[in-house]
Amino acid sequence: MKSLVLGLLFAAALALPADAQITETVAHKHMVAAANPHAAAAGLEMLRAGGTAVDAAIATQLVLGLVEPESSGIGGGAFMLVFDSKSRKTTSFDGREMAPASAKPNMFLGPDGNPRGHFDAIPGGLSVGIPGVVGMLGLAHDKYGKLPWAQLFQPAIKLAESGFPVGPKLARTIKNFAPGAKMPDIRAHFYHADGTTLAEGEIYKNPEYAASLKKIAAEGPDGFYKGEIAEAIIQAVQHAPGQQGGMTMADLANYRAQERSPVCGDYRQYHLCSMGPPSSGGIAVLQILGELQRFPSSQLQPGTVSNAHLFSQASKLAYADRAKYLGDPAFVHVPMAGLIDKNYLRSRAALIDPAKDMGTAQAGTPPDEKHARYAPQVSPVLHGTSHLTIVDDAGNVVAMTTSVEFVFGAEIMAKGFILNNTLTDFSFQPMRDGLPVANAPAPGKLPLSAMSPTIVFDKDRRFLLSVGSPGGPAIIDYVAQTLSGILDGKMSMKDAIAMPRELAMNGPTLLENGPGVDKLAAALTAMGHTVQIPSQEGSGLHGIMRVKDGYIGAADPRRDGIALGD
């Protein structure tokens, strides 16, 4: 619970003011929606050069690792969903960080055998997973790239060498992080010699990051996973102040990103595809929407008590299943088809009382559950992620969610980039009540994620919209609520992304503070909900929607994002 509260408080601290401007852009040819204007501009530059959505995503990510290093970068991991307009097929690329060979099921237990606190496992090298972003980008580029690999690195290299004005979000993050920032890498990059932090508008340069990008641009992913960059990563992990990790050069050299089939399903007349395991995001989003399908859209209008109640109940059911059944499918049996089976979702939806909160939901028994005998894990709520959505001239679509896990990851750096703390996404308890936990640590295993890059198609299976968000486990609710707002509430992309967040991750009902929240909270309390009202939620949604003459893109006003297009 301490981790959950700290995560929510940190999310609120990072959020933009409630009156921040909501950005929306209309384009006819192509579009990029990303978490920072410099990053979006890099992606747009590639689209204007005739590049594909994947080309643009690579350029965007490389700049994000510079201008928004607290959230994502080449020292972390990502999931990418790609819709190929020519074949009309959707695939996904898995760049999730992997546990090194030194990982053990009990690696996050204390001397007394009890799980350590989440924030006791970071900072340091123990929590660092083998980074997957570079391998995933290389794999996606091999299949869908058009521009030369090295060309995609030029905007980030130039910006790292010449410098850029520190943006509002990075400045706020550094300032709010300051009381706990004791790690030397963080202080060397984001603090002055007198101990003051970089302020908004100050020019920040990172020539070390530029040098790393030049090497990867010239040598491909091998320039990252072998040689001097790999050696620097191992040095940082094995000799980090405080807690050391056991990652080796062999761990890095053996890492392989994967192409996977997405998880897809229907909601009313729409067809949705999202990320499957080791992300829980796609299954959980489809579960929430599948359970809401029992109710007419008239009861799911944004801002109403009925919508907040019904959404919270469906969310609780999905999160209960997530905690018990989801993990790396290479290590545990995940009943994927059963969890989104229409009959199973109807049986789960029948548990929803339209007039009363269900309390804590229990996991169900999906088809093919017989091999999935696990205990549910306990998940903290942490925020250190970013999302981008891109459409190119040919109508190809990329939805990519990317992360270093918590803010500034493990708080250690190598060659100018932040290293992730993604191994803390494993369950700290390998066993509960005599049963194994599906998401327990193991060598070579991928930790469970909630990242939910999603693409929606209309009844004729034409691209309609794409959306995703940062936000830790809350990503699932951020994305599902936005999709329901658009598909049930007929909201615009801009309004759906900006609307107040309503979450229920099988715990208290969280209502983002704003006009009318007290009245809504009172009504839900009368229905049995335990309501909490964080000052502001940590979403960072970005989305693009197809319209008659092109596309409309929007960015979450809680962060620095923007949509750019031609």
Q: At what angle do helices 475-487 and 281-292 cross, to 10 degrees?
A: 40
Lookup: tokens for 74: 């080449």
C-alpha dist (Å) from residue 353 to 117, 314, 350, 368, 374: 35, 11, 8, 27, 27
Q: Coil, strand or helix: which one is 377?
A: coil
Rounded Cα gap, residues 330 and 260, in angstroms: 12
Q: For residue 262, which amino acid is it?
A: P
- Candidates 52, 385, 389, 422; catalytic one: 385
Q: Are 436 and 456 in contact (CB under 8 A)?
A: no
Q: Counting beta carbons within 10 angstroms of the beta carbon of residue 106, is it exposed (0 to 12), middle (13 to 18) or buried (19 or more)?
A: middle
Rounded Cα gap, residues 423 and 446, in angstroms: 8
> How far from chain centre, in Å, is Cα 158?
27
Rg (CA), the chain: 22
C-alpha dist (Å) from residue 220 to 140, 244, 433: 13, 29, 47
| DSSP string for residues in 9-30 | HHHHHHSPPTTPPPEEEEESS-
C-alpha dist (Å) from residue 59 to 52, 63, 74, 203, 435: 11, 6, 12, 21, 44
Nearest to 87 by CA among 148, 144, 2, 43: 144
* Number of residues in the chain: 566
Q: Coil, strand or helix: which one is 182?
A: coil
Q: Are 187 and 413 in contact (CB under 8 A)?
A: no
- Tracing tokens 């090295």 back to the chain, one arrives at 150
Rounded Cα gap, residues 559 and 439, in angstroms: 31
Q: Is 197 a catalytic residue?
A: no
Please report which residue ranges of 259-382 form alpha helices under DSSP H. Answer: 281-292, 305-325, 336-339, 342-349
Rounded Cα gap, residues 287 and 480, in angstroms: 9
Rounded Cα gap, residues 297 and 477, in angstroms: 18
- The set of catalytic residues is 385
